[in-house]
Amino acid sequence: MIEILNTLVSLDLFKEFFCCDLERCHGICCVEGDAGAPVSIEEVGLLEDALDVVWDDLKPQAQQQIEHEGVVYPDKDGELVTQIVDNKDCVFVKSSDTPCTLCAIDSAYRCGKLHWQKPISCALYPVRLSQVGGMTAVNVHRWDICQPARDLGKKLQMPVYQFLKEPLIRRFGQAWWDECEVAAHELKKAGYLD
């Protein structure tokens, strides 16, 4: 790990390749797993505010779940996560007849209907953040369903940090990103990145 502006960054961010391949995975990360997407307290309000815009795009089961339980719940570790339907599907999955799963919030953002894209944990995936002492640890999570993304990333020679440039800047700021690029250059020069 290396330190970048009060974060501890795994070298996997620079060494591993990743680029989402929706044609192969069909957005399965939004409908698989044992908990919803991690969210901050601030994001709970944003999710609630987004309901007026995305409500008609949600599946009926998701609407019922939200009406009865709200937009988030505490997972087994006590962290807030988005509600899920049938113990797997995120409630914000957009109702669609296409084989590809899309996020209703992200779709509304891309259409200019919302000013907020989606929870930062979703935008940052496969990066997961955790607290270590007073610092934020930046690690790469490995999930077998994301093998198509690793394959495409390797084919394109797209390291995780480059694939996630926009959400990393959104979360940590431009100065952090600039330091990240310097670190990548120095790691390559020192022979840590092949």
Q: What is the four-CA torsion angle of 165, 172, 111, 61, rounded to 10 degrees?
A: 110
Integer Cα distance of 39 and 83 in angstroms: 11
Q: Each residue of 149-188: pLDDT tens digit?
A: 999 999 999 999 999 999 999 999 999 999 999 999 998 9
Q: Each residue of 117-134: pLDDT tens digit?
A: 899 998 999 999 988 888
Residues of the chain short of pLDDT 50, as ranges, are none
Question: Across the beta sheet with 2-4, what order do the strands follow?
Answer: 2-4, 7-9, 135-140, 127-132
Structure tokens at 134: 């007073």
Integer Cα distance of 54 and 47 in angstroms: 10
Q: What is the four-CA torsion angle of 140, 83, 25, 100, rounded to 10 degrees?
A: -140
Which pLDDT score, from 0 to 100, does residue 194 have?
67
CB 70 within 8 Å of CB 62 = no
